[in-house]
Amino acid sequence: MAKEVSPGVLALRKVVEDVYADAREAKKQGKLVGWSSSKFPCELAAAFDLDVMYPENQAAGIAANRDGEIMCQAAEDLGFDNDICGYARISLAYAAGKRASRKVDLETGEYVINPASGRPLKDENGKVVMGEDGKPVKDPKTMQPYTVLDDIHEIEALPDGKEKDLRWAAIKPYRQMQMPQPDFVLCCNNICNCMTKWYENIARMCNVPLIMIDIPYNNTVEVHDTNVAYVRAQFDHAIKQLEELTGKKFDEKKFEEACANANRTASAWLRVCDYLQYKPAPYSGFDLFNHMADVVTARGRVQAAEAFELLEKDLAEAVKVGKSTTPFPEKYRVMFEGIPCWPKLPNLFKPLKEHGVNVTAVVYAPAFGFVYNNMDEMVRAYYKAPNSVCIEQGVSWREGICKDNKVDGVLVHYNRSCKPWSGYMAEMQRRFTDDLGIPCAGFDGDQADPRNFNEAQYETRVQGLVEAMEANAENKEG
């Protein structure tokens, strides 16, 4: 039976589809389309009516569609090191024109099906159909063509004709693989310092202007006035650069509208995140991860605010009637630390389900909910991102979430891509156990490159965490 999808979730899906469709349309009409880091002030671009896309988000989508490895490898073949963040490698390969494509037979025009793809065929009683060779038969409807790497510059250079048409059409049709190339890039390094070089490289490869806002790591809990002045001056400079780029004047009314929308979206998003505090929770941190695309790509749109408010209503109703999207009874509650392994979501979920572990707290999602009332507060809000705040602030954020969301343990993703995040996690784990008396377990993985995830290690770590949570509960009862 198809999974029931709530009206809020449906509305959010449409919001993101529209962001991509609008950018494709803008490109077709010859308008400028930009690429932006996820926490660049989108309000500035909105004041110029610019269509902006988000490569981090795009890379997460490509990884979730299982094309992370081929794109990471493509970037490595271009000379980018395997140690660079997987999002950056996917994005740099994409910026260079590389695309994941379906293998097509240029004679017949048919896609060449990969026999290893597809799900097992089931009979009318839901039983897997076995073949004569004793192996499960594949459902032909779910089988997919081989994935190959193509290059839009090579396709463009072909003479008009059958091969050109077939190769254009073979590029995978999901939205993240159909994102328009950039005419300018917007970068803010509050996310991490890898951003700076990543966006400089995109600008160089695509020969487009880069608008950069430098927000350095903040080693104090407060953001000092001098830091605010430093960033405000850069906002002013970015506005001048955008005026030159677009030939338009900064529209204050549109800017204020975008600020109001961004604040309304952020407030609704934070209230949605707070529903994880219910015991049992009406949904899980995995649901929040799925909405990251919405809050990153469409924060400044009124439709995003409305859709999150609708989702809030769905969750209130779910709590009232005792419904949850989590398909098992909640025995343990944990915080999931870090970005999930997008290509391995089912593998992450499986052992959690087996042990009744619900992810009722995440750090990554609420980090994108920030509200401000004036320009200085806006700068301070942009100053704070998971990797740009000091360890005291980081510990206090997380311990607050752990307490509010009543977790029994913490599962830490040591993400090979995200070194700034993973680097201080060992100390954080120590502090969580000391301060909150809860066990923590870590596993190695990667948000985008599936080569860095080991399922057996992950399962063992989850099992260890469950045993520690069980012992902790028994001790408390004792």
Binder among 332, 421, 443, 458 for ligand SF4 (CB under 6 A): 421
Report the nearest approach of ligand SF4 to the CB of residue 59 (Å): 9
Range 156-168 burial, b when 16+ CB lie within 10 A, else e: eeeeeeeeeebbe
Give, in order, the Cα–Cα distances in Å from 141 to each of 6, 119, 121, 255.
27, 9, 9, 48
Which stretch in 89-97, 187-195, 246-254, 277-285 sits in contact with ligand SF4 by CB under 6 A?
187-195
Which stretch in 75-83, 126-134, 189-197, 362-370 sits in contact with ligand SF4 by CB under 6 A?
189-197
* Rounded Cα distance, 371 and 451, in Å: 38
Look up residue 416 and give its two tokens.
């090979």
Compare residues 14 and 197 and give the one whose CB is closer to ligand SF4. 197
Q: How would you classify the pairing of strands 184-188 and 33-36?
A: parallel
Report the nearest approach of ligand SF4 to the CB of residue 255 (Å): 27
CB 303 within 8 A of CB 15: yes
Report the nearest approach of ligand SF4 to the CB of residue 195 (Å): 6
Is residue 185 part of the contact set for ligand SF4 (CB under 6 A)? Answer: no
Compare residues 146 and 397 and give the one whose CB is closer to ligand SF4. 397
Q: Which of positions 194-253 make contact with ligand SF4 (CB under 6 A)?
A: 194-195
Compare residues 50 and 339 and give the one whose CB is closer to ligand SF4. 339
**Please, what is the Cα angle at 86 between 80 and 87, to 5 degrees?**
105
Is residue 91 part of the contact set for ligand SF4 (CB under 6 A)? Answer: no
Binder among 20, 40, 80, 87 for ligand SF4 (CB under 6 A): 87
* Rounded Cα distance, 219 and 430, in Å: 20
CA 247 from chain center: how many Å? 33
Binder among 187, 192, 305, 462 for ligand SF4 (CB under 6 A): 192
Compare residues 167 and 416 and give the one whose CB is closer to ligand SF4. 416
Is residue 36 part of the contact set for ligand SF4 (CB under 6 A)? Answer: no
Report the nearest approach of ligand SF4 to the CB of residue 342 (Å): 11
Q: Which of positions 435-474 make contact with ligand SF4 (CB under 6 A)?
A: 447
Compare residues 42 and 259 and give the one whose CB is closer to ligand SF4. 42
Is residue 40 part of the contact set for ligand SF4 (CB under 6 A)? Answer: no
Binder among 177, 362, 412, 418 for ligand SF4 (CB under 6 A): 418
Report the nearest approach of ligand SF4 to the CB of residue 88 (Å): 6
Report the nearest approach of ligand SF4 to the CB of residue 90 (Å): 10
Q: List Cβ neighbours of 144 (8 Å cut-off, separation of 6 or more).
A: 102, 113, 114, 117, 118
CB 278 within 8 A of CB 358: no
Binder among 64, 85, 242, 272 for ligand SF4 (CB under 6 A): 85
Report the nearest approach of ligand SF4 to the CB of residue 348 (Å): 17
Report the nearest approach of ligand SF4 to the CB of residue 83 (Å): 11
Per-position DSSP letters for 171-188, written without gaps between them: B--SGGGGPPPPSEEEEE
Look up residue 376 and give its two tokens.
């200085």
Residue 6, amino acid: S
Look up residue 400 and give its two tokens.
């607050």
Is residue 64 part of the contact set for ligand SF4 (CB under 6 A)? Answer: no
Which stretch in 140-148, 188-196, 243-251, 347-355 sits in contact with ligand SF4 by CB under 6 A?
188-196
Q: List Cβ neighbours of 336 (8 Å cut-off, separation of 6 or more).
A: 285, 359, 361, 362, 411, 413
Residue with tokens 């992810």: 359
* DSSP state letter for 71: H
Report the nearest approach of ligand SF4 to the CB of residue 420 (Å): 6
Q: Which of positions 137-176 make contact with ligand SF4 (CB under 6 A)?
A: none
Q: How would you classify the pairing of strands 98-102 and 147-151?
A: antiparallel
Is residue 417 part of the contact set for ligand SF4 (CB under 6 A)? Answer: yes
Report the nearest approach of ligand SF4 to the CB of residue 419 (Å): 6
Among 231, 357, 200, CA closest to 286: 357
Give, in order, the Cα–Cα distances in Å from 333 to each of 136, 322, 425.
36, 17, 20
Applying CB under 6 A, the residues found at the interface with ligand SF4 are 56, 85, 87, 191-192, 194-195, 339, 387, 417-418, 420-421, 447
